[in-house]
Structure 1
Amino acid sequence: MRLLVIDTALGACTAAVFDDDRALAVRFEPMTKGHQERLGGLVRDVMAEAGVPFDSLDRIGVTVGPGSFTGLRVGLAFAQGLGAALDRPVVGVSTLAALSADLDEPVPAVAALIDARRGQLYVRIRQGDAVVVMDQALSIAAAAQRIAELSPEVALVGNGAAVLIDACPDLAFARRDDRIAPTPHTLARLSAAADPAAAPPRPLYLRAPDATPPSRLPGQPRQPTP
């Protein structure tokens, strides 16, 4: 299967072309903002380096979050637009699922952690092949409690690991990997294995947005306080 993978959900902008599990071209640029300006150029570059036409792609994979609200929507919009233009399936990959599958060496349990700010972490915990905590937003204390149940065999992966350890320095764990984004190879593997019907390219939001609509229209008087 020949596929293009895209990730703009976290601290990097990724575009890569794979033929089955063989990387034909990879671009991975760390960045916290500016994904919209870079993504198109990265996709153009990897397709040119791979030496394959766009219509040779069988599938497009894209991260759906959780992550930066603006960043993940950049990747989703680009992937969906390209998929529609090429008439190719687009599959969504959870950022937490990709992080939890990212370690090179096997460990009994993996906790994928993303800094959600406001005293929370986005969390997914895998024990062996079973997901024991599905993607959700937890307080730092609640996340630490769940991870403590698996200590010291659990590995911590993602930019939320530092947040957890700073808050809970006595927490025991097997390994720590502060990677800023999933690897392209893991994204390709999960994208190739995904069922398009069960993995739609829709944003995964684990809590309500920080911004809320205004309670009144411009020019309307404020409601009196009861």
Structure 2
Amino acid sequence: MPKHFILQIETATQVCSVAISVDGRTLAFRDVDEPNVHASRLTLLVEELMHETGLSFADLAAIAVSKGPGSYTGLRIGVSTAKGLCYATALPLIGIDTLTAMAAGFVAEQSHPIHAGTYLYPMVDARRMEVYTGTYDHRLNPLKPAAALIVDAHSFSDLDTNQQVTLFGNGADKFEDLFAANEHVVVISHFKNSARHLSGPAYRAFLDNQFENVAYFEPYYLKDFVATTPKQR
């Protein structure tokens, strides 16, 4: 049975990440968690990973990219790179919802099964107290679509006694103190986006022939980009 190698790109947050998976399992990956490196490092990471695995683009079955929501600049660079590679190689393009990939990656990294009463909230920072988030149950079924949410102390106040929400991602870190005394809200700090989180979702999309139109595919920004003027120093 032939193996299906997929090149995966994740640039929705500050982390610049590339991975290669085989039949839904991560074969190798690179994560660089530094500000403003997507434009300068992304293609180099791709080259490094292809060399490390000994693969050529002819060996790949598809290219997958985290499509958002997330950083406007990061998504633009990631999607542009993925589309360019698809044009050059005639490989199909797979777009994976960033929050779905985060939820899948979070569940895969847990050493114990997640309780049935737990709701997962992957969060991407959208400045101040706002985040991009969606809701998933413990089996990764989506319950609420991606939305921009302003979080305060009264958020998640309608939970039953046997329910719990778990917040994770770079948007969740800032709420650690806010919910420290709330036993129904658990904040998992320092969870980082990674292209390896796309491995399972990308393979399932590949098997289902869920490919994007390379010519018309655009990132899912969720909100319009608003340019700001840098403050005078």
Query: TM-score if structure 1 supplies the norm length?
Result: 0.82
1:64 maps onto 2:67 in alignment:
yes
**How much does 1:198 deviate?**
6.4
Q: Does 1:121 align with 2:131?
A: yes
Q: C-alpha separation between the residues in 2 aligned to 1:71 and 1:64?
A: 10
CA distance, structure 2, for counterparts of residue 207 and residue 153 of structure 1: 28
Distance 1:155 1:94 in 2: 19
2:231 counterpart residue number? none
Residue 140 of structure 1 and its aligned partner are, at CA, apart by 1.1
Equivalent residues of 1:109, 1:150 under 8 A apart: no
1:55 to partner: Cα distance:
1.3
Residues 49-68 of structure 1: per-residue CA shift (max 9 Å, x gap): 11011111101010111111
CA RMSD of superposed structures (Å): 2.4
Please state how far the C-alpha of 1:36 moved relative to its aligned partner. 0.7
Cα distance, 1:5–1:154 mapped onto 2, change above 3 Å: same
Task: Map 1:159-178; keep pairs closer than 5 Å.
Answer: 159-171=170-182, 172-174=184-186, 176-178=188-190
Question: What is the percentage of aligned positions where both structures have the same residue?
Answer: 31
User: Counterpart in 1 of 2:225?
Assistant: 209
Deviations 1:92-129 (A, max 9, x none): 11111111122223323211111111431111111134
Query: Are residues 116 and 85 of structure 1, via their aligned partners in 2, closer, same or farther at CA, if it must alter by over 3 Å?
Result: same
TM-score (norm 2): 0.80
Matched residues in 1 for 2:211 and 2:57: separation? 24
Rate the CA distance shift 1:148–1:174 in 2: closer, same or farther, 3 A: farther
Higher-Rg structure is: 1
Do the aligned partners of 2:92 and 2:211 also contact (CA within 8 Å) in 1?
no
Match of 2:57 among 50, 54, 58: 54
Residues 25 and 180 of structure 1, relative CA distance in 2, 3 Å threshold = closer
Choose 90-99 or 146-155, whichever is displaced more.
Answer: 146-155
Select between 72-81 and 95-104 the one with higher mean Cα deviation. 95-104
CA deviations over 1:80-103 (Å, ceiling 9, x no partner): 010111111111111111111222
Q: Is the aligned partner of 1:131 residue 2:134?
A: no
Give the match for residue 224 of structure 1: none
Gaps of 5+ in 2: 229-233
Does the CA-based 8 Å contact 2:176-2:189 persist in structure 1? no
Match of 1:145, SS state, is: coil
Q: How many residues align?
A: 210
Structure 1 alignment gaps of length 5 or more: 213-226
Structure 1 residue 84 corresponds to structure 2 residue 87: yes
Question: Which residue in 2 is equivalent to 1:10?
Answer: 13
The 2-side partners of 1:91 and 1:185 are apart by 14
Q: What is the alpha-carbon distance in structure 2 between the residues aligned to residue 150 and residue 159 of structure 1?
A: 27
- The structural deviation recorded for 1:134 is 1.1
- The answer to which of 106-115 and 164-173 deviates more is 164-173
The 1-side partners of 2:164 and 2:157 are apart by 10
SS at match of 1:101: helix
